[in-house]
Every structure is written in C-alpha cells, then in structure tokens.
Copies of this chain bind each other. A is one copy, B any other.
Amino acid sequence: MSHNTFGHLFRVTTFGESHGPALGCVIDGCPPLIPLDVADIQAELDRRRPGTSRFTTQRREPDEVKILSGVFTDERTGRQVTTGTPIALLIENVDQRSKDYSEIKESYRPGHADYTYDVKYGIRDYRGGGRSSARETAARVAAGAVARKIVPGITIRGALVQMGPHPINRERWDWDEVLLNPFFCPDSEAAAFYADYLDGLRKDGSSIGAVLEIVADGVPPGLGAPVYGKLDADLAAALMSINAVKGVEIGDGFAAATLRGEENADEMRPGNEGAPTFLSNHAGGVLGGISSGQPVICRFAVKPTSSILTPRASVTRKGAEAEVSTKGRHDPCVGIRAVPVGEAMVACVLADHFLRHRAQVGDGVAWPFS
C-alpha cells in the first residue's frame, strides 16, 4: 500500500487531519452505472459516528459527507449513478473544540505515534493526533460504502467478539443483536456484561482492547491470486492498517497452528452445478490466496486506547522526563467503533479483487469441465 492510498483498481486515497478543516477521500477506478446517493454513504458513517452512546468519545461530529465528483443522473432510471470518474467525498470537521494542547505538543504520549511522527518527519500536527487520529477512519467507512456496491450479491458484516479477556459465547451468535447494542456484539449476554465492564474501566481512567470479526458472505470463488496478490494478504494489510490493530487472522488463524492436518482439512462433497460443498471452513474462505466461495472470515485485535487518565512515564520533545495523562474525550475501547471500519476495509479489498479478477479472466467464472 502507498502512503495514503490502497487498492490496485478500486483505489482509495484519503486525506485530512483530526483538527484541520476537513477530511475525505478520492475513490478511483469505480465501475460506472452503480447507483450511489449521499444517503448510502451517510448511513455507514452514522454507524461509526462518535457520541452515539456513553461508551464512545463525546466529540460531537455530525460527519456529514458531500459527494464532490464522480456521480451523475442516469436519465434512463432517474437515479444518481457513478460515472467511472473519481468519486471525491468530503467531511468537514466541526467539533474542533478549542483545547489546551500544550502537554501533547511537548510530550510524547506512550502508545501513540507522537514520537515516531516527530522522529520521521521532524514536525507534526499534534492537535488531536493529527493525521494519525482515528478520525481518518471516517474516510475509510465512506469509501467502504461505495465498495459494498461493487461485488454482486455480497454481504459484509462485522461484530465484536471479545472485549479484554472476555470472549462472546459463539453459540449465542445472532446477527440481529449486533444492531441492538452499542458494542456491535452478536451475543446479548456478553453485551450486557461489557456495559458494566466498560463503566468500571472508565471510572478507573483506563481502557481495554478488543477482538473484532468480519464475515463476508456471497464472495464469488476465484478472487485473489496465488502468490503476493493473495486475497488474504491484502485483507491482512488492510486490517492491520487500521489504527491500533496488532493482529490479523483468516479463518482459524492462530488456532490453525494447533491443528493436525486431518483436522484442518476442509473436506468437500459434490454440491450444486459441479461446485463442491465444503464440510467445514477452517480456511476462512481462502485457499492458496484465492476465495473458495465459502464465507470469508477475518478477525483482528485492537489494542486498548492509549489515551488514558492514568499517568504514564514519558519524555518531552527536548528529551526531558515527563508524566503524561490524557483528559480528553476518548473511547475507552476503540475496538468498538473499529467494527464498521473493518467492514469497510474488507469491502474495499473485495471490490478491488473483484475488478482484478475480472481484468484477468473476464466476467465469467473460468471452470474447466462443467
């Protein structure tokens, strides 16, 4: 991935700092004639928007998106559609609360990019984390809303499956439940537990990590490539590029290391129209870097919010000792709002690989003997 661009054919370039006038993205390579309204994008942004529950930052950002280019009315249908030219999306920053940045300006917050930014560039926009703020992920979610429309028949959903050391009970998984609690949690009992758990952490001035899972249903077989263009390699990069992510898994992930060959093999039986039916999905829908037609399943681990009230030892820009604690308006568990971000990244990667596959092989599936 380039500095601020990802994707080969469905290419997303984002820009903007936390406390600058605006942030946004340019999507290049989108196919033409795809219906696209502001409302489609706004709906996704609203899922990521801060301040919707007491468990997320109280920064008040409406995150209203404007489409600056790349769409036009299709007179055959009267609908607004993509034209194949770059789609520029703009979100103005509204709640740049005037604040005292003197501490963050002079001292490096542990766990943040403050020091590494300064040592790389020799300068940084320290206000609210600047470019490394999680606000950048709004642009990803906006791009993802477009990406979701590229692969016919696809559904991409995400869920929080672990908070701190507390996993959900997968037997209670209910996708509808994800819409009903502020944690994107598919297990209602776990969600109730997390509410109390997070209240306690907030009172302690602490924070906690989480594990998220993204599931893409309806992915056609054949997306990806055997070596470096593997679908899972691009998924790993896309998810690891989200702020605070420290680990990525496909299918069984690290648990696959504990399995024997006969346990890990996803056996096949004849299915519809010659395509095999798989009897399990340890692989997470990707074999040899190429989608198998099974659901694509990824998980990623998000570290605890680094901005905490508890003071931590640090240094100033000039090399003196400092103690840093952050009073601001921060998510006690940044992992929560990473759910729509993870969905968006998976949507963008799948859209990109759909176009890459179509480029090399054409619209039809290449099938040897059917």
Contact = CB atoms under 8 A, between A and B. Distances in A.
A108 B277 CA distance: 12
Contact of A359 (B9, B33, B111, B249): B9
Given A23-B69, A261-B206, A303-B256, A268 B236 contact: no
A291 B28 contact: no
Given A246-B283, A247-B254, A274-B318, 4 more contacts: A9-B356, A122-B366, A131-B227, A246-B252
Contact of A33 (B121, B165, B317, B356): B121
Interface string A1-45: 111111011010111110011111010111111000000000000
A13 B13 contact: yes
A179 interface: no
Given A69-B20, A335-B257, A116 B291 contact: yes
- Residue picked from A14, A15, A211, most chain B C-beta under 10 Å: A15
A96 interface: no
B246 A254 contact: yes
A94 interface: no
A283 B247 CA distance: 11
A260 B291 contact: no
Interface stretch (A54-62, A83-91, A169-177, A181-189): A83-91
In the complex, which range does the number of interface residues on chain A fall in? 35 or more
B240 A230 contact: yes
Interface in A45-101: 66, 68-70, 72, 74, 81, 83-88, 90
Interface string A206-244: 111111000000000111111111101111111111010
A267 B230 CA distance: 37
A329 interface: no
Contacts of A357: 120
Given A122-B33, A335-B257, A268 B28 contact: no
B111 A228 contact: no
Contact of A279 (B22, B130, B313): B313
A108 B293 CA distance: 15
